Amino acid sequence: MTPLSNILTDRAETFSLSETLTRIEHDSHESIRAAQHTMQVPPEEQTPTIELSQIKQALLDMRAQIDIIVSALDADMHVVPAPPAPTPTPLVEAYLPSTPAPQIQERPQYIPEPPAPVHSEQPLYVERDRASAPVYGSFRIVEGVFNGQRMIGEDGNHYDVPQNYASKSKMVEGDHLKLTITAEGKQYYKQVGPVKRKSLMGELMQDPQGNWVVVVDRIPYKVLTASVTFYKARPGTKTVILVPEEGIANWGAVDSFLS
């Protein structure tokens, strides 16, 4: 019979672990039976001492052989190292082209056009540097030129002149006036710059529109209605009027009526 140590030593590298253990178990039983036959004692007559010694020796042999097998298995086993932890892939930010800021078109600066000059027929009117009427305390003063019916102020506004005052003062077209306007809105005129004038004689008449005129050498001159009604003059009355000495006038101031 082949010793158990020889089987384990010679065949450990040939058989697998399960086959080797099976053979060890088989050889162990064979060793026990061989020991029993050697002593030629039936198994029933063996003393406990002899049986236990044989079993102990067989177990020791098995233990030695198991140690040899374990050592052989340890030498053949290759420890597979655990795979290294994957290196985290750095996050690569996607390149997004920056959106250009919207361009704001600058609007051209608005420059208002100056208003067209107003050409008014104002004879003998001299413009002053003042663009608006000055204010003094609770009243303001406006100066201008009389056009036969109204005053054209230096501020470009038209101011009505009472016909009674114009008739009594015998204002002539082109006279320079000063108007004082109070805080209550009252107006006071003063004739501060009369122009040179001349006298003309003509005939009082009414035009198709009902306006009173004095015709001198077939040239009609308008006169204020208040001047005619105050003296209760009638069409055809000889009338003396005052007009500017220079320039062409459209209005005349009634100086007197001849009966």
The DSSP result for 141-193, as a single string, is: EEEEEE-SSEEEETTS-EEEPPHHHHHHHT--TT-EEEEEE-TT--EEEEEEE
Same domain, 37 and 152: no
Domain boundary among 76, 92, 113: 76
Residue 89 scores a pLDDT above 70: no
Residue 17 scores a pLDDT above 90: no
**Structure tokens belonging to residue 99:** 């959106």
Domain boundary among 30, 50, 76: 76
The pLDDT score that the predictor gives to residue 40 is: 55
Same domain, 142 and 71: no
> Is 48 a domain residue?
yes
Same domain, 164 and 243: yes
Looking at the 3D structure of the chain, how many domains does it have? 2
Same domain, 145 and 253: yes
Kindly report the CA angle at 102 between 99 and 103, in degrees rounded to 5?
Answer: 135
Answer for the pair 224, 168: CB distance below 8 angstroms, yes or no: no
> Is 46 a domain residue?
yes
| pLDDT confidence bin for 127, thresholds 50/70/90 | very low
Kindly report the CA angle at 108 between 106 and 113, in degrees rounded to 5?
Answer: 160
> Is 94 a domain residue?
no
Out of 6-15, 92-101, 133-142, 207-216, pick the least confident: 6-15
Same domain, 139 and 72: no
Q: Which domain holds residue 15?
A: 4-76
Nearest to 159 by CA among 177, 172, 173: 177
> Is 101 a domain residue?
no
Domain boundary among 76, 107, 124: 76
Q: Which residue has the higher pLDDT, 6 or 186?
A: 186
The total of other beta-carbon atoms located within 10 Å of residue 123's CB is: 17
Residue 246 scores a pLDDT above 50: yes
Q: Which residue has the higher pLDDT, 98 or 67?
A: 67
| pLDDT confidence bin for 99, thresholds 50/70/90 | low
Same domain, 68 and 147: no
Task: Note the residue count of the chain.
Answer: 259
The pLDDT score that the predictor gives to residue 54 is: 75
Same domain, 170 and 251: yes
> Is 128 a domain residue?
no
Kindly report the CA angle at 147 between 146 and 152, in degrees rounded to 5?
Answer: 65
What mean pLDDT is reported for the chain?
A: 75
| pLDDT confidence bin for 85, thresholds 50/70/90 | low
Mean pLDDT across the stretch 228-250?
93
> Is 227 a domain residue?
yes
Strands (E), the chain: 135-136, 139-146, 150-153, 158-160, 176-181, 187-193, 197-206, 212-216, 219-222, 238-244, 253-258
Same domain, 150 and 250: yes
> Is 182 a domain residue?
yes
Same domain, 56 and 141: no
Same domain, 151 and 224: yes
DSSP, res 127: -
Same domain, 252 and 156: yes
> Is 110 a domain residue?
no
